[in-house]
């Protein structure tokens, strides 16, 4: 399953028609395995979130709420007090989560304590009392000149008085090896491109904060690089559209298949995909909360 997240209020959701868009998560899915993209973006097959995913969602929620408080209150003790309510809200929206997460006997208190360690890791990397972000959990959307629509959520956007932009992304897993780092930078370049197209300003810094390892990775993109990246995203979307016409989303077997929830439907493992339902109607580009808290 996925934890539902609405980009618009529930009462008006039925009236809003949103074009399919490319998001960082779905672009990464297609690069990894076109069939995985289909299972997630087209078939919308249910997935069981891991403890790490849900913990990341809770930690992201706490940090978002923290920046909604006066600067003087943004201290570790306050952040820890926000953990239990953040979990309560999430479990109210998806009551089955508790049974799925704690079937192995781990206690909720121990799990929340592990989330608290990530919060402590955040405070070793920066002092939130000294920052005033422009936005947290910001939905950004931009249409490229080619017509490709990009959509995603930015964990935090910092804008200096001089207009310089910093994009911050919280990672609740360990700092990745080379392949994982490239995937994380792909996501950050995606945000940088969208902001550049929206505001005409190339972000000065892309900052990844790995709360578990208490490490930061900073990267400075330039305009030429973002133009190349734009062409990469256009090529990915062109490939998605070609597959969408016929339903020919081919599997790409790799070591990552061991972590896939959909092996039973994959031809590489003797399975049969569901009947292709056709290209989805608007709103197919919307991400879930768990997509945004990796």
Position 124 scores a pLDDT of: 97
The Cα–Cα gap between 278 and 20 comes to: 13
Alpha-carbon span 237 to 145, nearest angstrom: 13
**Distance linking the first and last C-alpha atoms of the chain:** 16
User: Would you state the structure tokens that stand for residue 91, as one six-digit string?
Assistant: 């479990």
pLDDT tens sequence across 114-128: 999 999 999 999 999
Q: What is the pLDDT of residue 235?
A: 97
Query: Mean pLDDT of all residues in the chain?
Result: 88
pLDDT of 5 reads: 34
Element (DSSP H or E) covering residue 209: strand 205-210
How far, CA to CA in Å, does 277 sit from each of 44, 263, 281?
10, 19, 11
How high is the pLDDT of residue 106? 79
**pTM listed for this prediction:** 0.86
The per-residue pLDDT for 177 is 62
Tokens of 141: 């959307």
Sequence-ordered strand ranges (E) for 51-161: 135-143, 149-159
Q: What is the mean pLDDT of each run of 10 residues along the chain (294 residues)?
A: 32 48 95 96 91 93 98 98 96 84 82 96 98 97 95 97 96 70 88 97 96 94 97 97 96 94 96 93 50 51
The whole-angstrom separation of Cα 25 and Cα 183 is 10
Q: What is the pLDDT of residue 8?
A: 30
Cβ atoms of 261 and 48 closer than 8 Å: yes
Tell me the β-bridge partners of 52. Answer: none
Q: Which residues contact 169 (CB under 8 A, 6 or more apart)?
A: 154, 155, 156, 184, 187, 188, 191, 206, 207, 208, 209
What is the reported pLDDT for 274? 96
């Amino acid at each position: 399953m996925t934890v539902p997240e609405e980009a618009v209020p529930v009462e008006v959701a039925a009236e809003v028609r949103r074009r399919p868009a490319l998001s960082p998560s779905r672009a990464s899915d297609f690069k990894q395995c076109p069939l995985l993209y289909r299972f997630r973006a087209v078939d919308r097959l249910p997935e069981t979130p891991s403890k790490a995913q849900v913990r990341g969602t809770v930690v992201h929620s706490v940090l978002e709420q923290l920046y909604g408080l006066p600067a003087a209150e943004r201290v570790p003790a306050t952040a820890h007090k926000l953990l239990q309510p953040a979990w309560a809200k999430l479990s109210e929206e998806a009551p089955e989560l508790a049974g799925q997460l704690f079937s192995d006997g781990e206690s909720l208190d121990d799990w929340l304590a592990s989330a608290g360690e990530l919060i402590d890791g955040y405070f070793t990397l920066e002092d939130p009392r000294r920052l005033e972000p422009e936005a947290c959990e910001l939905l950004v959307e931009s249409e490229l000149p080619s017509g490709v629509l990009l959509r995603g959520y930015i964990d935090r956007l910092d804008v200096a008085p001089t207009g310089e932009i910093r994009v911050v992304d919280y990672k609740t897993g360990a700092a990745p090896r080379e392949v994982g780092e490239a995937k994380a930078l792909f996501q950050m370049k995606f945000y940088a491109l969208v902001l550049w197209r929206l505001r005409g300003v190339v972000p000065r810094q892309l900052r990844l904060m790995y709360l578990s390892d208490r490490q930061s990775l900073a990267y400075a993109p330039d305009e030429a690089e973002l133009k190349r990246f734009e062409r990469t995203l256009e090529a990915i979307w062109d490939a998605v559209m070609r597959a969408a016409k016929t339903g020919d989303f081919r599997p790409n077997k790799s070591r990552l298949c061991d972590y896939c929830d959909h092996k039973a439907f994959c031809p590489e493992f003797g399975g049969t995909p569901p009947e292709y339902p056709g290209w989805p109607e608007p709103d197919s580009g919307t991400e879930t909360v768990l997509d945004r808290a990796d």
